[in-house]
């Protein structure tokens, strides 16, 4: 291989780029349409914040979680990635009033990033097209309290 052509390019970048192109071409039309609604990081963050405001106000949208189940088996197009705690008291999809397939969630006790979690977040961005990564903490975290 030509070292001049590949200087500064790692196998990880080549794989991510190739997988990204493959995934984008394989996404079903409905999944691509969902992604276009949040095509910038600012729009994705705004969508999360609006959903959280609905959750806090107790005005969440009603959803039929079985609707679209067959289409979701063909691919996914989450608009945001969430690094959150493994706390069982709430799912990020509920906290942000989002339906299935909208968020790419990585959860670990204490919501800290590990090499595996980072690889998952990179996959979400490079291949699935997430536009924003949110690190989501919460009060009274047992893992953080145990560490402190």
- The CATH number assigned to the domain holding 131 equals 3.40.1050.10
The answer to whether residue 34 sits within a structural domain is yes
The answer to whether residue 4 sits within a structural domain is no
Whether the per-residue pLDDT at 136 is higher than 70: the answer is yes
Q: What is the pLDDT of residue 10?
A: 55
For residues 60 and 96, what is the distance between their CA atoms, to the nearest angstrom? 9
Which domain range does residue 23 map to? 11-147
Total number of domains constituting the chain: 1
Determine what percent of the chain is predicted with pLDDT higher than 90.
Answer: 55
The answer to whether residue 134 sits within a structural domain is yes
By CB atoms closer than 10 A (0-12, 13-18, 19+), residue 28 is middle
The answer to whether residue 2 sits within a structural domain is no
The answer to whether residue 84 sits within a structural domain is yes
- For 61-113, the pLDDT digits (tens) are 988 878 888 888 899 999 999 999 999 998 999 999 999 999 999 999 998 89
The answer to whether residue 3 sits within a structural domain is no
The model's pTM is 0.73
């Amino acid at each position: 291989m030509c070292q001049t052509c590949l200087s500064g390019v790692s196998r990880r970048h080549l794989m991510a780029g190739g997988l990204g192109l493959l995934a984008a071409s394989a996404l079903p039309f409905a999944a691509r349409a969902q992604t276009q609604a949040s095509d910038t990081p600012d729009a994705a963050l705004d969508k999360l914040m609006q959903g959280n405001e609905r959750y806090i106000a107790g005005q969440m949208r009603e959803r039929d979680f079985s609707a679209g189940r067959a289409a979701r088996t063909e691919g996914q197009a989450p608009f945001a990635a969430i690094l959150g705690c493994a706390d069982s008291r709430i799912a990020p999809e509920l906290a942000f009033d989002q339906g299935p397939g909208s968020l790419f969630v990585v959860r670990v006790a204490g919501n800290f990033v590990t090499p595996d979690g980072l690889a998952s977040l990179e996959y979400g961005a490079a291949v699935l097209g997430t536009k924003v990564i949110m690190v989501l903490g919460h009060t009274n975290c047992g893992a953080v309290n145990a560490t402190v």
